Amino acid sequence: MLLAEPPSTAFDLHFSIGKIPVRIHPLFWLIAIGFGAIAVRGAGINMLLGMALWAAAVFVSILVHELGHALMARAFGWPPRIVLYGMGGLAIYSPGRQQTRKSRILIDFAGPGAGFLLGALILGTVLVSGHSVQLPGLPVHIGNGPSFTAGAGRLELFVLFMLYVNIFWGLLNLAPVQPLDGGGIAKAIIEKYRPRDAWSIALKLGIGTAVTLAAVGLFLWQSVFLALMFGMLAYNNWQMLQQVR
């Protein structure tokens, strides 16, 4: 959920996955650990351990998400690199030719799509073990066996975090709000039918969707975090709309 690449620091972590360079900004760890303190409240587990498990789940999940974008960009012949920063990440590439609507949609969807695949793999493993699981954030219970998370141990909590980030966050990321992946997909589709004012329509759609999700997050899910996040996104989309006008 980044708009621009953050500047490098002396504390960045660098490595590569295949031929894809990865850089992790230190603010990524700080924010992940900070939100981990919120995520483990009332979980009945040591706070430091819970924060570490949350940070690990967020790191793996967002890295897989950005790898999805990066691999799809590379499939079109555009060498990518990945930066993890703040609350998310960025797959950066330079198109060697004019991007088509199809390539933009496929690259945007490849991120959450990779997360859904990872979440499905984890969910399938839980079901094969003979357990059932309540998908975090969603009113969906899958399986007929005993609840996998009933033990509330380290593995169970880590699996719960992984499902939450890859499935629930992945679905929210497909909301037609800028700069989420769903916002990019929505804009690409709108451009096909309303090329002249596609950007303003996409921003209006983003404002309405973000306001709705902020209200749902606060009153239905009772999540102040989601309410604030989508409230900020609604305001950012409104600001961009004023600039367009």
Q: Is 130 part of a structural domain of the chain?
A: no
Lowest mean pLDDT among 36-50, 98-112, 186-200: 36-50
Q: Is 113 part of a structural domain of the chain?
A: no
Q: Is 22 in a helix, a strand, or coil?
A: strand
Q: How many CB atoms lie within 10 A of CB 41?
A: 8
Give residue 240's pLDDT band: very low, low, confident or very high (50, 70, 90): very high
Kindly give the pairing relationship between strand 80-85 and strand 20-24.
Answer: parallel
Q: Is 15 part of a structural domain of the chain?
A: no
More confident residue, 67 or 150: 67
| Percent with pLDDT over 90 in the chain | 75
pLDDT recorded at residue 92: 94
Q: Could you tell me the two tokens for 117?
A: 């695949």
pLDDT recorded at residue 2: 54
Kind plus residue range of the DSSP H or E element containing 180: none
Q: Domain limits at 198?
A: 176-245
Q: Is 71 part of a structural domain of the chain?
A: no
Summarised one tens digit per residue, pLDDT across range 23-37 is 999 999 999 988 888
**Does residue 116 carry a pLDDT above 90?**
yes
Number of structural domains found in the chain: 1
Q: Which of 3, 9, 8, 11 is closest to 88 using CA atoms?
A: 3
pLDDT recorded at residue 207: 98
Contact assessment for residue 241 and residue 207, using Cβ atoms and an 8 Å cutoff: yes
CA within 13 Å, CB half, 237: 27
More confident residue, 38 or 72: 72
Torsion angle of C-alpha atoms 17, 23, 24, 26, degrees rounded to 10: 150
**Does residue 214 carry a pLDDT above 90?**
yes
Q: Could you tell me the two tokens for 211?
A: 């306001």
pLDDT recorded at residue 170: 96
Q: Is 87 part of a structural domain of the chain?
A: no
Q: Which of 110, 74, 102, 85 is closest to 27 using CA atoms?
A: 85
Enter the DSSP assignment of 76.
T
pLDDT recorded at residue 164: 94
Q: Is 210 part of a structural domain of the chain?
A: yes
Q: Could you tell me the two tokens for 157?
A: 């909590």
Instruction: Over range 109-136, report the average pLDDT.
Output: 95
Q: Could you tell me the two tokens for 3?
A: 């708009």
Give residue 152's pLDDT band: very low, low, confident or very high (50, 70, 90): low
- Ranked by mean pLDDT, which of 42-51, 197-206, 219-228 comes out on top? 197-206
Q: How far apart are the C-alpha atoms of 92 and 71, rounded to whole Å?
A: 11
pLDDT recorded at residue 154: 86
Summarised one tens digit per residue, pLDDT across range 54-68 is 999 999 999 999 999
Q: Is 183 part of a structural domain of the chain?
A: yes
Q: Is 243 part of a structural domain of the chain?
A: yes
Instruction: Over range 90-112, report the average pLDDT.
Output: 92
Strands (E), 58-181: 80-85, 88-93, 133-134, 141-142
Q: How far is CA 77 from CA 71, 72, 73, 83, 95, in A?
A: 10, 9, 7, 19, 8
